[in-house]
Amino acid sequence: MSQKNAAYPKVVSREEWLTARKNFLDKEKEFTRSRDKLNAERRRLPMVEIDKDYVLDGPNGNTRLLDLFEGRPQLIVHHFMFDPDWEAGCPACSLAVDNIGHLAHLQARNTSLALISRAPLSKLLSYKERMGWNIPWYSSFDSDFNYDFHVTLDESVAPIEYNYLTKDELVQNGVPLDSQQSMEVPGVSTFLRDGERIFHTYTTYARGTDLLLGIFNYLDLTALGRQEEWEQPPGRSDGRGSSWLRRHDEYEHAFETDSCCHSKE
């Protein structure tokens, strides 16, 4: 093994590999059973009725949250980070949407999915065309929606809360907050309806959305993993951290510009 690749896995015989693989398979099965139990516990969570009639801006004009269900009982909302001042959407959120795939599979399970962002609809539709997406996208620019679901943090509008932590708790945890300007943050929310009654069942933030990023789940199966500094074992990072991430039409010019999704475009 070359010095360059010294952090690669140990080279062993096929028999030794098979023994290690079978031992790890037991752990994988245990993890799958634990995940099934966690998913069942999530489904048992209570829900809260939505008593506000949110009106969003969509391709057909004013659109109620109820309309996003498209007649189905369930709705998943991806809180896509797109500040009104930006000219392009968040690269990380763009990666997440690239991973969604064809909506027919969700719809076959009586579930609709939509993106909601605070940027005006004209910017959303322009970016949607650039990315080649077919997912419904709505603007919450004139709505309280983003603030009520804590995916736009602006103390002048509502008390700051993110990932179920207060502003003080976020600061204590080292989360950088700028009280002088609003901040877009990622999340995914799920809703259930009974006729025209809408219920909020779940919202996850930050790394809670990690399991939705199929590319990372694929990379997690590989020896090099995601190649970021925080991963174990050490020595397999490419040294770029998350700065490698680009929108899918930008990799040809990778590393020429800063990709921070919180910066103004």
**pLDDT tens-digit profile, the chain (265 residues):** 565 677 889 999 999 999 999 999 999 999 999 999 999 999 999 999 999 999 999 999 999 999 999 999 999 999 999 999 999 999 999 999 999 999 999 999 999 999 999 999 999 999 999 999 999 999 999 999 999 999 999 998 999 999 999 999 999 998 888 766 789 999 999 999 999 999 999 999 999 999 999 999 999 999 998 888 888 888 888 777 667 889 999 987 655 544 344 444 4
Q: Give the pair of three-digit tokens for residue 85.
A: 């001042």
Domain membership of residue 11 (yes or no) is no
Same domain for 42 and 105? Answer: no
All residues at 6 or more sequence positions from 192 whose CB lies less than 8 Å from its CB, including other chains: 47, 73, 74, 75, 198, 199, 201
pTM of the model as a whole? 0.89
38 and 70 share one domain: no
Looking at 142-218, which runs of residues are DSSP E strands? 152-153, 161-162, 165-166, 183-184, 187-194, 197-205
Q: Are residues 74 and 198 in the same domain?
A: yes
Best CA proximity match to 163, nearest among 149, 176, 177, 174: 149
Residue numbers of the domain that contains 254:
222-258
In a domain, 8, yes or no: no
How many domains in the chain?
3
Based on the fold, state whether residues 185 and 246 are members of the same structural domain.
Answer: no
Q: How far apart are CA 46 and CA 34, in angstroms?
A: 21
Crossing angle of helices 91-98 and 121-131, in 10° steps, is 60
Look-up of token digits 């990690």? 210
Together in a domain, 28 and 107: no
Q: Are residues 53 and 41 in the same domain?
A: no
96 and 35 in one domain? no
Q: Tell me the C-alpha distance between 150 and 159, whole Å.
A: 9
HSE-CB of 143 using CA atoms within 13 angstroms:
26
pLDDT at position 181, please? 74
Q: In the prediction, which pLDDT does 177 show?
A: 81
Residue 265, in any domain of the structure: no
For residue 263, being part of any structural domain is answered with no
Cα distances from 52 to residues 65, 66, 87, in angstroms, run 10, 11, 30
Tell me what pLDDT residue 259 has: 39
